[in-house]
Chain A
Amino acid sequence: MIKEELRRNGGGEKLEKIDELFDELILFLKPIAHTYIFELKQRWKKFVIFSSIIGLFGLLTGIDYVLFPENSLPKTQALFLEDGLGLIILINIFAVCFFFGGIICTEYSNKTGYVVFPKINKYKLIIGKYSGALTLVIGVTGLYYYALGLLGLYFYGEPINSKYFLSFGIACLYILAVSSFVTLISSFMKSANVTVITTIIILLIGFSIIDGLMVLWNPNIEPLYSLNYLSNLITSVLRKNFPTKRKDRYEDIEYKDEEEDEVFTFREWITPSIEDGITFLVLYVVICMSLAMVIFKRRQL
């Protein structure tokens, strides 16, 4: 009815333009949507297995307190959630490597690119696959948060603090950053297995070594380049007094050598500020995805 009215009032041309734009948008999004759905259907079994294991981990953090009455429950809900989320970084790293490991390289290693690339735009394919895998990983993380939140409600009887949802938001941003990093690695690696192993080594060991060396070289540099350090924000936002000042965000540990009468100070950075953390995570996404797309464009089958 609205369309007919517009046509009568001479808005026919505008309406046609809108219709054309809309059709183009649908055409643009359709392949992405189909790839997204295909990705979800293809990986649903892995998602179910992973989710079951992660959900069980989530519940086990609470069952420990039920089975062993002597095991002291944290004093407040915030402390309980902070303790429980200690595992979330590892879960995210493994989930991202598991689901994103083969996102680009499998099209080349399995030679499926010969079939798929002529029929569908490369970038739309990767966007669809990326979105599907992202949905699954966020689903797995969401399940862990849900299980932990339910336990928090059981033990402490209070509604979950809003900071918990902020923590989930930052966890999603962290997943985006890590998945972009894995996509970058996948864009030039030959196989999914090598991608997964390389990424796990870099994320778990590589960044820790670099952070340690950087602290020794110049402790005043805050390791905002490190995904390891940025991941601390997920749990630290739950703290009652989140350190807002720079001097509160690190701890200097002194080691005294009595023989040589020397004092060695080692700086341990605790958490980035919320603004810095979010900014650098977004930067990771932008830089890694841009590089991944450039490499992907130039990569030959």
Chain B
Amino acid sequence: MLKNTHTHSKALLTTLILAVILFNACSNVFAASSTYQLPLTKITKFNEVVTYDKDAWKETISTKDEPDDWFEGDADKIRAKNKITFTSIFSKKKGASSLFFTMFKSFIPDNVSLLLFSDPEIKDLISEEIDEQYGKYEVWMVYREVWDYTIKNFEDDADHSNRRQFILKNPEDYHDILKDYNNWVVELNETLNEFNMTIFKVSKKDFLWDLIINDLIIASPFESYLHRVIEELNINNAKIRDNTLILERNERELFTIEAKYGDQGFQSSFIVRNKNGKIIYEIKNSDSRLLVYTISSVTIAVIVSITIIAIIRRKRIHSVKMSKEVAYKPLKYLIILAVIVTLATIIIFIPFKPSK
């Protein structure tokens, strides 16, 4: 009888371990339906300005522009933080017009925006024409709540609500979207010239720069995705190293920016170095996942420990004559079970990915 119980318990434990491993593996299998996967989940990330050398910035980049011209809010103050909450993630086929008006927003002058977008009917007409001519793109559409950089406490409501961001599923499409946009600009300028207005074409370097400054989110595998983007855009002064995109630029002097990508596909750090490799501006990123996992693990461990102690006490009360070996046998399995449950919680929570 005892031997059967022992065998049964062993089988149960083995099944449990296998189930945990299989579940983890399967979550990756179900997700691997396309070449690239977006690992981004609904979470809030905090960016903090860690380093800002004002003199080196003026010497290397610009005497007029400061970091708050690159990033919104008080990005020129050390310890200034911004907050971004990702509220929803869609996988869609989106018309080229939506991508033009979102991805190239900073390249469209204000007077042209006013002319094209102030009247919803005109905007819809233009959008229809663009979508007919340039078709649709496969994208991930991410909605965000964005709080600008500030050294004060964050307000309850975001500075920019429901901000849309597109991530192209195929890295080759970055070249196509740029080409389509520039073609559209050429056509549009024929009409805009009658109003003494012009939109300029966007170069590949400026396009990539704008994407990085506006918090480009990428799909995994990260290095492969970034390599394809750079190859398609044919940018010579960019390279990839350990999930970091390194781009050279020249303003007053030569400088490099390093945009490192974390496991969720957004930038975990943004560093600007001068030609001597000295850091003149740095932003670091954080989120609360580790804290939550720690709290959850501790809670589960406490509950399991209390349960074990209660069971042991009961065993001792009820079986006074039982030998030590027999009394503590279930204890061994219980301790192993407690450890497995705690580890399983950590393993299950950490790599949980969205389905596409």
Contacts and interface: CB of A to CB of B under 8 A. Distances in A.
A150 B292 CA distance: 7
B88 A154 contact: no
Interface magnitude class on chain A: 10 to 19
B288 A72 contact: no
B88 to A, nearest CB: 4
Given A65-B42, A70-B90, A73-B85, A150 B288 contact: no
Given A66-B352, A156-B44, A157-B287, A72 B156 contact: no
A82 to B, nearest CB: 12
Contacts of A78: 156
Contacts of A72: 87-88, 143
A154 B292 contact: yes
Interface residues of B, number: 32
B43 A154 contact: yes
Contacts, number: 69
B295 interface: yes
A294 interface: no
A300 interface: no
B85 A156 contact: yes
B74 to A, nearest CB: 19
A9 interface: no
Nearest to A241: B156
Interface string A57-95: 000000001100111111110100000000000000000
B88 A76 contact: no
Given A69-B88, A75-B85, A155 B156 contact: no
B201 to A, nearest CB: 35
A158 interface: yes
B157 interface: yes
Interface in B85-109: 85-90
Given A66-B352, A157-B43, A157-B44, A73 B88 contact: yes
15 contacts: A66-B41, A66-B42, A69-B90, A73-B42, A73-B86, A75-B157, A75-B158, A75-B161, A76-B145, A78-B156, A153-B292, A154-B289, A154-B292, A157-B44, A158-B44
